[in-house]
Each structure stands twice: as C-alpha cells, then as structure tokens.
Structure 1
Amino acid sequence: MVWNGDNGCKVKNGRKQYTVNIEKRTCSCRSFQLTGLPCPHGCAAIWHMAGEPDDYLDQFYHKETYEKAYAYPLQPINGTHESVKFGIEPVLSPIDKKMLGRPKKNRRKPKDEPKEKKGLNNLVGLG
C-alpha cells in the first residue's frame, strides 16, 4: 500500500491496483460506493490510518436507521381479489419464431439441371 496524502492511498493486489479515498469513501473497484460497506482495499487503507472499518459504514447499516424504519407498525393490505381493475389488457409473451438454421454447404441446383449419375462411368477419362 502506498499512501498518497491525507485521505487516500493506492492499494496493490498482485498486478491490480486500486485507489482509495477514505474521506469520500470511494474506491476504484466501486464496491465501497455501491454497497456502502468498506471493500477489502478500503479496509486496508482504514487500518493503515489506525481506524476501524465499522466507523466507515453507510448510515443505512446503522441500528438507529433500522429502528426508525420499523418504528411504526405495518398495517395489512387488501389481497389481490380487491384490487382495482383498470381495463388494461395483460402483456402477452412474444411470438416464437423459428430461427433459421445454418445454410446448406452444397449449392442449390436448378430443377432443369440433369442429375449426376454415380458410378465408374462418371470418372474422368472413362466416359
């Protein structure tokens, strides 16, 4: 790992390298931004700063957020038998089309072309 300033570093993993910015909570692998959880590269940078990865979790993963989300009781809803119909027809699945196969290797002979006779007389020079 190579430290590149106050808030970031470059983490090498084999031939690959990732840029981590701890203040912005970003990593070039994009896992830190997408999940809100520190990726392995982010954890390495956080540990290098003598920090704890749990302090860099997104607010979504905190217990307080969970408690706020479920603070109110959820009321049951009516079933599908009481749903309002809007008169829109359901979407049908697409029509199956027969896929064309691979083209024939031999050329297509016209109907008026004589058929080729098989046998010894057909060889070159014996005709």
Structure 2
Amino acid sequence: MLRANEAEFEVISHEGTNVVDIRNRCCICRAWQLYGLPCAHAVAALLSCRQNVHRFTESCFTVASYRKTYSKTIHPIPDKSLWKEFSDGDPNASEAFEVVINPPKSLRPPGRPRKRAQAEDHGRAKRVVDCSRCNQTGHFRTMCATPI
C-alpha cells in the first residue's frame, strides 16, 4: 500500500491496484459508494492510518438507526380473505385505486429485425461473378440453371 497524502492511498492486491480516498469516502472499485460500507481496499487504507472503520460506514448501518427504524409498532397484514372489497356505490371507494395497463408504444415485436437494411455501395463498382459450370456472368455455380 502506498500513501499519496493524508487522505489518498494506492492499495495493491491480487485483483490489481485501487485508489482510495478516505476523505470523500470513495474507492475506484465503487463498492464503497454503492453499498455505503467500506470495501476491503478502504478498510486496508483506514487500518493503515489507524482510523476506526465503523466511523466510515453510512449511518443507516448503525445500531441507533436500526433501533429507530423498528421503534414503532409494525401491524400485521390480515389474510386476503379479510380484505375489504370496494364497490362503485361505496363512499370509501375513493381510497381504492385503479390500475391502468397501457399497450406498448411500438407495435413491432421485440427481437432481431426480419430484414437487414442493404448497405450503401458509396460509389464502389460491383464485382462481376462468373459461373464455373457454364462460364456465363451474373451467377455462381450453385445457382446455375443451365442443363448439363
């Protein structure tokens, strides 16, 4: 591991070389930015400068955040047989919502197109082919219709 300055490190591992910036909480592997937890490269850099790794994790991973998330009561969802059904005359029907499924914008089916567009010749001369069977131009031997 090489230290560039007080915040940047170059960590060399079997995977390759990674640059870690502990001030901005980022690593070139992007795992620290994506997951909010220091990656192995960042942990190596933090431990080398004797920093507490736990201080560099996102706050959502702390015990205090966990306790705050589950501090209120979570009510169970009743069985589907106990769900209310709304009818058109029901005054509470405004609480229900309607799902609208729109057709796709394109009518063309997905997948590979049936025909490929012809390439432009850009002024190039076309190649003249000769049949090796009848010695005429314009077709190959496999397409020759001349009787033997």
Give the TM-score taking structure 2 as reference length: 0.55
Corresponding residue number in structure 2 for 1:9: 9
Could you give the per-residue CA deviations for residues 13-48 of structure 1, whole angstroms, max 9, x where no partner exists? Answer: 357322111122111111111111110110110111
Q: Distance in 2 between matches of 1:91 and 1:69?
A: 37
- Equivalent residue letter for 1:48: S
Could you give the per-residue CA deviations for residues 46-97 of structure 1, whole angstroms, max 9, x where no partner exists? Answer: 1111234233221111111011011110234575654724273x35688857
Ranked by relative contact order (alpha carbons within 8 Å, sequence separation 6 or more), the top structure is: 1
Corresponding residue number in structure 2 for 1:31: 31
- Equivalent residue letter for 1:10: E
Task: Give the 3 Å change call, closer, same or farther, for CA 18–73 of structure 1 in structure 2.
Answer: same
> Offset of 1:101 from its aligned partner?
8.3
User: Where do 1:1-127 residues align within 5 Å?
Assistant: 1-14=1-14, 16-77=16-77, 79=80, 82=85, 84-86=96-98, 88=100, 90-91=101-102, 100=114, 117=147, 122=148
Give the TM-score taking structure 1 as reference length: 0.63
- Equivalent residue letter for 2:22: I
Query: Identity of counterpart residues, as a percentage?
Result: 23
